[in-house]
Homo-oligomer: A and B are copies of this chain.
């Protein structure tokens, strides 16, 4: 009998080509060990609540009330919910057409998109149009939808930073496009050198690839750097000159651990540059409820904002979004709450600030603890985590270790991370999963383990050398 359509040898080859190391060999092995009873510290994915971070109380109160709207009329509701949470729940329910159980518009609830637009305006100082904001089930889904719109086939290239978060390489592989890597400079604190960009484009064109878009991840994942305004200007100018759509992955915009370089959005810099660039460069920016001090990964909420995208294309993106009917509604409300949090004077304001500041300050301390810890290891060098949720130390593996890995048929950093996992229960991702220069090895770990566990974790890292 000939192979069936879902036999391995006969499925879509693009599916097979996808690689996604964040949940790859290391994660699978860690899951096995966990099943066998070993204590595993999952630092492979930026999943704060899984490592003990508590959800912010106010947004959870509001979403809980939206899930149980019958409580809003209960005379006892005020005993366990604050009045401003009750008011907010009523506000968001009034924006839906049928509560959390009804599909929303496929772009998301209009009232929430308006709140997102107001947030962007406050952040950047430029108007934002709710009609050009689509809510999504997490930022990843938005990135996938935009790449699907751009990529027509393997002749289409997308510039992606290396090291990169493998959402990009995986999605480009799945849609059959070509990933054009541009290297970040580790010795310059993972800075983006525009000369590398030009080179990458030239090489790709030489191979006959039409370079159509460029991805930036700011703050960087896995690299943790924050782009300067000057750098963003260079990037936007480059996109203008080369006629590239810019995809701005800005999901870590709240995760900043130094004061010298605050987050600046690509949209703001684009608008600051004025015409013709501000009117010509096509930009799609992504955000999420999964990161920041929210860390609401499991809720799957995000948005993207489109700038300079023609209405007919927006209609096409809307049409494709509508096949999935709507993003999940509870996370849309969380997104509304994220962009429109409690204000001074609100009953829940003090608590909200206390909780969010507590998380952010602890992350800042952990970024420092981890970087210092790695730099105290023999044969490890590590740039400071300026932003995001990761540390990406370089491992100077001794020739002996590289030899042993080869014997085992493994990439050396995979071999190292497996060894680390078996010895310590720490589940990281090898640098090869993100891309790195030939002959150089890294690992990525989140900075998310509890602060009190951090010293012991760094001791564990130091042991496996």
CB distance from A222 to the nearest CB of B (A): 15
A324-353 interface (Cβ within 8 A of B)? 324-331
Contact partners of A170 in chain B: CB under 8 A: 320, 323
Min Cβ gap A57→B in Å is 6
The CA-CA distance from A257 to B371 in the complex, in Å, is 64
Q: Is B316's CB under 8 angstroms from A103's CB?
A: no
Q: How far is the CB of A170 from chain B (nearest CB, A)?
A: 5
Minimum C-beta distance from A145 to chain B (A): 9
Contact for A316 among B8, B49, B79, B148, CB less than 8 A: B8
CB pair A99 B55 closer than 8 Å: yes
Contacts of A100 in B (CB 8 A): 55, 296, 298-299
Residues of B within 8 A of A328 (CB): 137, 298-300, 328, 330-331
A15 to B153, CA, bound (A): 13
Residue in B52, B67, B103 whose beta carbon sits within 8 Å of that of A297 in the complex: B103
CB of A290, distance to nearest CB on chain B (Å): 8
Chain B CB within 10 A, most for which of A4, A53, A79: A4
A60–B71 Cα distance when bound, in Å, is 11
| CB pairs A–B below 8 angstroms (19 shown) | A7-B310, A8-B313, A11-B149, A13-B152, A48-B102, A49-B98, A53-B98, A55-B99, A60-B68, A64-B67, A64-B68, A71-B80, A80-B80, A98-B298, A101-B295, A102-B298, A137-B137, A140-B323, A140-B325
Chain A residues with a Cβ under 8 A of chain B: 1-2, 4-8, 11-13, 15-16, 18, 20, 22-24, 31, 45, 47-53, 55, 57, 60-61, 63-65, 67-71, 74, 76-77, 79-80, 96-106, 137-138, 140-141, 144, 148-152, 156, 167, 170-171, 174, 212-213, 243-245, 280, 282, 284, 294-300, 306, 309-310, 312-313, 316-317, 319-320, 322-331
